[in-house]
Structure 1
Amino acid sequence: MFGSTRNTITRSGKQQPGKMVIVDLSPGELLDPRYEVVPFRGRAAELRELDRWVDGGGSSVLLLHGPAGVGKTRLARRLAAGAPVRVVDDADLLPWRELHDLLREPDTHVLLLARTAGWWWSAARQRAADLGRTGAELALGPCPEQHAASFADACDRFADALDLPRPTAPAAPDPAAPDPAAPDPAVATYHDLHLSALAVVHGVRDPDRADLVRWLVSVDPAATDRGRLAEDVLAVALLDERIEPECTPETLEALLRAADRWPHVPRRAERLFAARPDLARTATAATLRAVAGLPAAAAAVARDVFDDARFHGDPLPAVLTRALLRDRDRDRHDDRDRHRDNDPDRHPHRDRAGGAGKSELAELHGVLSARAALAALREEALEATSLEVGLYRELTAADPVEHRSALADALGDLGLKLVAVGRDAEAVTAAEEAVELCRLAAAEDVDYAPRLVGALDQLSLRYAAVGRRDEALAAVAEAAVRCRDLAGHQHALFGLDLAKVTHHHAARLFDAGRREEAARTARLAVARWRSVAAGDPRFEADLARALLSVAALLTSCGLPEEAVAAVEESVAVLRRLARANPRDFEPELAGALGELAAAHRDRPVEAAAAADEVVLVRRRLARGGDPDAVARLAAALVARVDVAADGGAGVLERRSVAEAAVVLLRPSAVRHPAAVTAARAKVVGLLLAAGREREARRLAEEVLVAAGDLPHHVLVAQGPEPARALRALADELPETDELAARLVERAAATWRDLLGRHRAAATAFPEAVHRAAVLRRAQDHPGAADHARWAVLAWQLTGAPDELAAEARYADALLFRVRLCVEGNTDLDRALLLAHRAVEVLRAAGAPAEVCRGATAAVDDVLRAHADPEVARARPRASSW
């Protein structure tokens, strides 16, 4: 039946427009989808779906997945022939770091091919979203309706290629004999179909799949070296129980890749890994993901996987934990059923063993949640934590004293997982319940008081995230009082917690508009951090970070000199730490120096020295080419542009620095789109200063489009620099320039997206809307009145009444809207109330007398324009603000 001659062909079926490619292919190579010996057919619906994906624009990644041999590669090649798509085959075999680096590359579209989806893809999709890429997937299944035509094509093509007769049906066919020109109905994929066709061309009509693989090896021994064929050859060899596979990483991977097609392979693989768990130390992540589906093998390799540094951040530990958890849950249910069968009168609620099993199951869900979160599996981590909370609820209902604290801890973790997926309101509810449980536990056990402090602190953060400032302050104030009592009795044990809570208390006081108290509390927090670091040098880095945070708060409180002193102290601490450990602390030193340069904005010499040192440190850190380090170097150069301007540097010098930043950022545009946008905006401003207006305007239009395309999560992650850069660029243009208004409107939209995520947004957003109103008014734009109205509303929505009571910028927005109402003779009753309010705010703010007189004049302007000035003058000055 089996021949031994290695045939070759002189023509492949892969055609290009206007020519035929001439190569030599072996029988095994005829099956390789890259050569397309058998013409592509069908898949019209899938091609339309892929075309829509390509035409969708943006930066996208799509997973095309389906069983081995189903036609993924051929379909991807057909798409890539006419579209700018980066195709990555066998993407599920890539180590997660390589896959992550691939997603960072500035390709517009990335098409991943894989046999399975699962958690490796979910982790990749969620990491892609963090990088500004949208993610989608398309499942590819068999097309049995195409099999007959494809089989006939394959027989003809292979026969012609091998110079063999085309198979034909017998003149008088035996009804019991198979038709050699028809496909095996049991064949599931194109690969198996074409292998059958290749065998038929050689006169082999044995339908047994294993015999077909043996035949192929006999005519083409090199087939064992290639992809799926190598996997099938290995699987067929292992049908002989006397044969053991080699234990190289490549062979193990091939073995597990064949497991879904050959029923005996999972049993052989499970037996191998259960007997030799040490194989996990060299096996690939893809291999071990498949092993996770084999209960005995998964249990054997678990410890080695969890301890292996290769898999830190990889989805594999989470996949393996989920598999172990499912097995444990299955065993628990089996045991419960056996107990119930043996003792039908036994009530499950009295089953102590069952309760213990449920507690252990809850703990495993917590472990799964933690491991999933480390692999960027945020949605899966949330699901695991939700199940953990559900189990602890059941346990707490049966025994509150025993399980209440565990439920509180699980609820705290649930809050963090909800925040990670943007469900802040639900996180507040979870944190509130955790605090109530901790109160009950602390009332019964004084040793539980520290956990109540932690729960209150977390609740404060949750309240702050959704803008509930008063409640946030109340929660952290209670935490501070309780923590102070704890530290008073055991300072060595609770001094660190007291420093942290005091720091958070200062931030919440500032958010509530109580700036003097915030400044005093911030100073107290620094003193407590110094005490902690003096007692234990391990916390010196935390002291340095706290100093930077406090410096930002002090600056906002109007205490720039104290802020500079705090930043200088932080820099001094980090210099000392960086000398001892450059790898860990030089990046933080660079960040602190950048803050120092900004703090010295009124002292150009000191600012330039700090900015120059930032660039030097960032250059050292970027030598290895790490994209993050390069982006930070570019950001340092952009910051240096501003410092150079303050120091009187020329336009050409500053533009050279800015353009160098843009060049550095170009390769990492997908990963750092916000930084690229900010840097390019700087270049536009410098081109304008150099008189290159046409070039500047063309680049400005590109910057506006790029800024509008920035996803919300990118803005949250990468900060407000694009908004600041756009606003600064607008300020360099005349007020009558329409481009200036568009730049400010885009900056306002960006600040709006950052509300609740960045402290500066609460004032920067309404300021930008007001500025847009002013610019549109200067351009006689009909939208100026709407902008002015929205500016007032923005101030009222983002600022507490006591904060606005003395906010001069709010008064400016009020007076500008009053002016437009008077000019348009509209809404004058409301304008009169706003004008009175502006006068009150300016007086409370201590504005100069001439400014207050101008506001009073605005009241008179409204009265003169009013249809009935006497009635308007008598109207009470009351309104809800």
Structure 2
Amino acid sequence: MDWLSRLRGEDPVAARWRAAALVNEATELSKTNRHTEAATASEQAVSLLRAIRRVPRTEIAPLLAHALVRHSIALAALGDLAGALRDAEEALELAQAVPTGSGHSELLPTTRANLAFWLMKSGRAADAVPHIRAAADSTARLPEGAAAWIQGTLAQVLAAAGEDAEALAVSDRNRIALQRRVEATTADVALDVEQARAAANHAGRLFEAGRWQEAAETAAEAVARHRALAARDRLGRLPNLAMALTNQAVILSKVSRWEESLAASEEAVTLQREITTADPVAGLPGLAAALSSYATGLAAADRIAEARPLMAESLEIRRALVAADRGAHLGKLAEVLSNCAFLAETGEENLPLYEEAVRLRRELSAQNRAVHLPWLARVLNLYANQLAAVGRLGPALDAGHEAVESARESFAANRAGFLPYHAFVLREQARRLDEAGQPAVAIALGAEAVAVCREALGANRVRGLSGLATALNQQAGRLLALPAVSVRQAEEAAALRSEAAALLAERDRG
């Protein structure tokens, strides 16, 4: 008879102690990226608690909710977002049934925040917002650490929902509150970790808001803080330092600080190799991501020959990871296939890679449309561009049309979050229609692109200036390229170009 059979319904006290130990074990396993083992431990805890019969459910509910939260985290890391959502929803239902004043004040807001996070990751940011706002409204009664985590999640969910300004304001308030806690407390490693994480998250919020110089400064702070933590606990903290370096590299590239950006990416790869040598299971996904990011940076700096072998290595790792666990790694394989295709020297090389990426994105979209349809739109747009580049305009227009329709559906599901890319996909398809000699259709789609770009400008002026200027200039060019340009069309084109020039001048003034 195994331990679960011995404990089922016979010794509820021992069962609860064992379940609590399994929840703690799952927490520690997740910290070292041992997600399969974490899923097993947390699943055992859930099964053990469900089997208890001689104790009122309200007494079991708090620990069962915690076990379900841990299981949701492990499942999501393994690519099972549907399972993560299912567990998160049940955890919230259990928390709602726990009587107030029972000593579990953190349970309801933390389970709400957990559900909000997985809704966001599942492409349902709009559905996540009410949950995270409700959780955030309860933080005044919580310990400072739990409150800070919920407020940080609020900033992430708002950003995913396209509410960049509010997300940045929340992140800024969190940083101020954290600094006050630091000033009022003696040295505390947990607070040091919190500060490093908060700096990294705030850099992301600044980046999304178009405040790139400030983002670069804050990303440097995050790296410095993670580096100090790694000096105390190298293997335990290296993954976070490597991630902070990768994020810093992306931000530095945005402000054209290429040498610093590439140095940060190169260091991230070096650290990920060290992590992988010590623990291949935990390290390989991070190494693949770091290699891809470094290769992308090298390509942007016009060092494509150096980028190709790094991206190829990333692809090799991703294929091996998919062979071991398809569900957990298929999305990342599709992403690196697109990157490899973009870096390929010829159409003969890159078209099969794009086709495989499209095939995988279709498979993933069939499983979870909200998450993967935006990525399908992206890869279809890239595939359409390459088909056009090799003279296959008919198939290019077909792929581009599907990209537009996928983008429209994604836009309808998350208007604010997908707004900038929807505008980009419309502009790209209108450009391909220009090349195919279909001016009437191109002008209609170009007008839609201009309208969406105006909306994007209203949502985030700094980020939207270049996109609208491009759409206006493209539309003006279409009007002037008509076989017979009317006075009205010439005047409209002139007005579009004048507006575009003003927007570009504003962008250049900073």
TM-score range, shorter chain: 0.7 to 0.9
Residue number in structure 1 paired with 2:402: 746
Shift of 1:567: 0.4
Given the alignment of the two structures, is residue 432 of structure 1 paired with residue 133 of structure 2, yes or no?
yes
Instruction: Name the structure 2 match of 1:458.
Output: 153
Q: Which position in structure 1 is the counterpart of 2:446?
A: 788
Residue 361 of structure 1: CA displacement? 3.6
* CA drift at 1:637: 7.0
Work out whether residues 378 and 421 of structure 1, in 8 Å CA contact, stay in contact via their aligned partners in 2. Answer: no
Q: Is the Cα contact below 8 Å between 2:365 and 2:373 reproduced in 1?
A: no
Question: In structure 2, what is the equivalent of residue 844 of structure 1?
Answer: 506
Contact 1:641–1:658 (CA<8 Å) still a contact in 2?
yes
Deviates more, 1:494-503 or 1:767-776: 767-776
Residues 364-395 of structure 1: CA deviation (Å, up to 9, x unaligned): 34434544675653454244233234235x51
2:374/2:410 contact within 8 Å kept: no
Contact 2:42 2:70 in 1 (8 A): no
Partner of 1:45: none
Q: Is the 8 A contact 1:674 1:715 kept in 2?
A: no
- After superposition, the C-alpha distances for 1:574-593 in whole angstroms (9 at most, x for unaligned) are 22222333343234223322
Q: Which residue of 1 aligns with 2:290?
A: 592
Amino acid of the structure 2 residue aligned with 1:434: A
Deviation per residue, 1:397-455 (Å, 9 max, x gap): xx8xx65444433432343354466553343223223333223x37xxxxx33333222
Show CA shifts across 1:282-322 (max 9, x none): xxxxxxxxx98xx5599998888996969818967545534
Counterpart in 1 of 2:432? 775
One-letter amino acid of the structure 2 residue matched with residue 569 of structure 1: E
Q: Is residue 364 of structure 1 aligned with residue 364 of structure 2?
A: no
Greater helix fraction, Structure 1 or Structure 2: 2
Match of 1:312 in 2: 40
Q: 1:606 to 1:374 in 2, by over 3 A?
A: closer
Asked if residue 498 in structure 1 is aligned to residue 195 in structure 2, the reply is yes
How far is 1:503 from its partner?
A: 0.9
CA distance in 2, matches of 1:638, 1:709: 19
Kept in 2, the 8 Å contact 1:554–1:560? The answer is yes
Q: How do 1:405-424 and structure 2 match up within 5 A?
A: 405-416=106-117, 418-419=119-120, 423-424=124-125
CA 420–519 in structure 1, closer or farther in 2 if over 3 Å, else same: closer
The one-letter code sitting in structure 2 at the alignment partner of 1:329 is: P
CA–CA distance in structure 2, aligned partners of residues 456 and 543 of structure 1: 23
Q: Distance in 2 between matches of 1:589 and 1:771?
A: 33
Per-residue Cα deviation, 1:633-671 (whole angstroms, up to 9, x for no partner) = 8976775554451xxxxx5xx746875x69xx9xxxxxx
Larger Rg: 1
What CA distance in whole angstroms lies between the structure 1 residues aligned with 2:447 and 2:241?
Answer: 44
- Asked if structure 2 preserves the Cα contact closer than 8 Å seen for 1:277 and 1:301, the reply is no
The answer to whether 1:384 aligns with 2:87 is no
The 8 Å contact of residues 814 and 834 in structure 1, kept in 2 or not, is answered as yes
* Residue 218 of structure 2 is aligned to residue 521 of structure 1: yes
* 803 and 556 in structure 1: CA distance in 2 versus 1, 3 angstrom threshold: farther
How far apart in 1 are the matches of 2:117 and 2:92?
A: 12
Q: Is the 8 A contact 1:762 1:799 kept in 2?
A: no
CA distance in 1, matches of 2:244, 2:414: 19
CA–CA distance in structure 2, aligned partners of residues 585 and 706 of structure 1: 27
2:56 to 322, 329, 344: 329
Query: What is the distance in 1 between the residues matched to 2:277 and 2:116?
Result: 39
Task: Say if 2:305 is the partner of 1:610.
Answer: no
Contact 2:381/2:400 (8 A) holds in 1: no
State the TM-score, normalizing by the size of structure 1.
0.46
SS in structure 2 of the partner of residue 726 of structure 1: helix
**Cα deviation per residue 1:27-83 (whole Å; 9 max; x = unaligned)?**
xxxxxxxxxxxxxxxxxxxxxxxxxxxxxxxxxxxxxxxxxxxxxxxxxxxxxxxxx
Residues 674 and 714 in structure 1, CA contact (< 8 A), matched pair in contact too? no
> Which residues of structure 2 form unaligned runs of 5+?
26-36, 76-81
Give, in angstroms, the shift of residue 794 of structure 1.
2.1
Instruction: Name the % identity.
Output: 21
Instruction: Answer yes or no: is the 8 Å Cα contact 1:812–1:838 preserved in 2.
Output: yes
Q: How does 1:37-76 map to 2 (within 5 A)?
A: none
Per the alignment, residue 560 of structure 1 pairs with: 258
State the AA in 2 paired with 1:600: L
Question: Relative to structure 2, which stretch is displaced further, 297-306 or 360-369?
Answer: 297-306
Secondary structure, counterpart of 2:178 in structure 1: helix
**How many Å separate the matches in 2 of 1:492 and 1:564?**
30
Judged with a 3 Å threshold, the aligned counterparts in structure 2 of structure 1 residues 754 and 499 are, in CA distance, closer, same or farther, namely farther
- Going from structure 1 to structure 2, the CA distance change for 1:422 and 1:559 (only over 3 Å counts) comes to same
Q: How does 1:116-195 map to 2 (within 5 A)?
A: none
Give CA deviations for 1:88-144 in whole Å, capped at 9, x if unaligned: xxxxxxxxxxxxxxxxxxxxxxxxxxxxxxxxxxxxxxxxxxxxxxxxxxxxxxxxx
> Which of 500, 514, 539 does residue 237 from structure 2 map onto?
539
How has the CA–CA distance of structure 1 residues 388 and 762 changed in structure 2, closer, same or farther, with 3 Å as cutoff? Answer: same
Q: List per-residue Cα deviations over 1:152-197 (Å, max 9, x = no partner).
A: xxxxxxxxxxxxxxxxxxxxxxxxxxxxxxxxxxxxxxxxxxxxxx
1:484 matches 2:189: no
Contact 1:386 1:414 in 2 (8 A): yes
CA distance in 2, matches of 1:373, 1:806: 35
CA distance in 2 between counterparts of 1:304 and 1:487 reads 36
Match of 2:270 among 567, 572, 587: 572
Shift of 1:467: 1.0
Name the SS of the counterpart of 2:126 in structure 1: helix
Whether the 8 Å CA contact 2:410–2:418 is kept in 1: the answer is yes
Q: Is this contact kept in 1: 2:381–2:425, CA < 8 A?
A: no
In structure 2, C-alpha distance between the alignment counterparts of 1:614 and 1:564, rounded to whole Å: 17
CA shift digits 1:536-584 (9 cap, x unpaired)? 2110111111211222233234433322111011012122222333343
CA distance in 1, matches of 2:190, 2:18: 35
Paired residues, what number?
477
In structure 2, the residue matched to 1:395 is: 100
| Deviation of the 1:507 alpha carbon | 0.9
Match of 2:246 in 1: 548
Q: Are the counterparts in 2 of residues 729 and 743 from structure 1 also a CA contact under 8 Å? A: no
CA apart distance, 1:532 = 1.6
Q: Shift in Å at residue 501 of structure 1?
A: 0.7
Cα distance change of structure 1 residues 426 and 739 upon mapping to structure 2, 3 Å threshold: closer
In structure 1, distance between residues paired with 2:126 and 2:336? 36
Kindly indicate whether the alpha-carbon contact (under 8 Å) linking 1:363 and 1:388 is maintained by their aligned counterparts in 2: no
TM-score, with length taken from structure 2: 0.75
Taking structure 1 as reference, are residues 515 and 800 closer, same or farther at Cα in structure 2, changes over 3 Å only? farther
Within 1, Cα distance between the matches of 2:374 and 2:13? 38
Q: What is the distance in 2 between the residues matched to 1:478 and 1:805?
A: 23
Could you report, residue by residue, the CA deviation over 1:592-650 in whole angstroms, capped at 9, with x for unpaired residues? 2222222111123422443454466568x4797665789978976775554451xxxxx
In the alignment, the residues of structure 2 paired with residue 321 and residue 374 of structure 1 have an alpha-carbon distance, to the nearest angstrom, of: 18
> Is residue 454–residue 479 contact of structure 1 (8 Å, CA) maintained in 2?
no
Partners of 1:506 and 1:521 within 8 A in 2: yes
- CA distance in 2: counterparts of 1:474 and 1:540, whole angstroms: 30
Shift of 1:754: 5.9
